[in-house]
């Protein structure tokens, strides 16, 4: 027998370039599949938060719209004199712009007209129209009432108010949810 030559086999461990590329491609596809799943889980309470915000805003708008147009509106309704028009000779004048808001001594349970809600605001503890309170931590709602021109083309929460009386009052209720998202509810009430 012939003597064997010694062999120098070096054991190499590691990954080839092809194996690394395949691994990166597989991880990329996996993340594309799993990322939307994890994103939907992290935002799952959003619909409930939004529903609460919408309910808070809509309930206040409904309450405001059920009130008479102005403190001077006669029982049973009827137009008032404004800087924009005098629909009935001798009619009482509408509340001046500078005095929009609750009359002296009025509080939420006895608000009787639309502009009493101007400047109204609640945070965390809210009241319904019967003055029953409930808590929604992290939420806030506020109301703003202003006069706008009757022929205003676009009416939304950014519509500029007038510094004088007109035949239309813009009502904007703003609700801020616990995530900081703002919701605007806009309505117009007219001097009829």
Domain that holds residue 108: 46-190
Strand order in the sheet with 121-127: 121-127, 133-148, 168-176, 182-190
Determine, yes or no, domain membership for 23.
no
Residue 36 lies in a domain: no
The confidence band for 10, taking pLDDT boundaries of 50, 70 and 90, is low
pLDDT of residue 12 exceeding 80, the answer is no
* Helix ranges, the chain (H): 17-42, 46-65
Give me the pLDDT at residue 13, please: 73
What percent of the chain has pLDDT above 70? 91
Q: For residue 80, tell me if it sits in a domain.
A: yes
Contacts of 150 (CB under 8 A, 6+ apart): 84, 166, 167, 168, 190
The strand pair at 121-127 and 182-190 is best described as unpaired
Over the stretch 88-144, which tens digit does the pLDDT of each residue have? 788 889 999 999 999 999 988 899 999 999 999 999 999 988 889 999 999 999 999
For residue 108 the two structure tokens come to 């939420």
pLDDT interval class at 168 (50, 70, 90) = very high
Please tell me the predicted confidence (pLDDT) of residue 42.
Answer: 65
Beta carbons within 8 Å of 170's beta carbon, 6+ residues apart = 145, 146, 147, 148, 155, 159, 161, 186, 187, 188
Q: Is position 16 within any domain?
A: no
Q: 99-108, 137-146, 151-160, 161-170: which has the minimum mean pLDDT?
A: 151-160
DSSP state of 162: P
In a domain, 8, yes or no: no
Q: Is the residue at 41 inside a domain?
A: no
| Tally of domains within the chain | 1
C-alpha 25 chain-centroid distance: 43
Residue scoring higher pLDDT (6 or 53) = 53
Q: What is the pLDDT of residue 130?
A: 86
**pLDDT: which is higher, 189 or 30:** 189
pLDDT, tens digit (0-9, with 9 covering 90-100), for 31-64: 888 887 777 666 666 888 999 999 999 999 999 9
């Amino acid at each position: 027998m012939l003597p064997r030559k010694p062999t120098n086999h070096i054991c190499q461990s590691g990954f080839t370039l092809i194996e690394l590329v395949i691994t990166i491609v597989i991880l990329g596809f996996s993340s594309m599949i799993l990322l939307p799943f994890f994103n939907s889980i992290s935002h799952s309470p959003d619909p409930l938060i939004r529903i609460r915000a919408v309910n808070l805003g809509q309930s206040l708008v409904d309450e405001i719209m059920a009130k008479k147009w102005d403190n001077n509106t006669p029982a049973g309704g009827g137009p008032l004199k404004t800087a924009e028009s005098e629909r009935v000779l001798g009619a009482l004048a509408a509340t001046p712009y500078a005095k929009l808001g609750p009359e002296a001594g009025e509080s939420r349970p006895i608000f009787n007209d639309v502009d009493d809600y101007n400047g109204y605001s609640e945070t965390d503890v809210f009241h319904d129209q019967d003055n029953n309170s409930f808590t929604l931590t992290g939420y806030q709602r506020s109301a703003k009432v202003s006069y706008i021109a009757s022929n205003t083309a676009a009416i939304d929460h950014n519509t500029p108010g007038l510094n004088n009386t007109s035949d239309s009052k813009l009502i904007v209720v703003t609700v801020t949810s616990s995530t900081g998202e703002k919701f605007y509810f806009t309505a117009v009430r007219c001097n009829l």
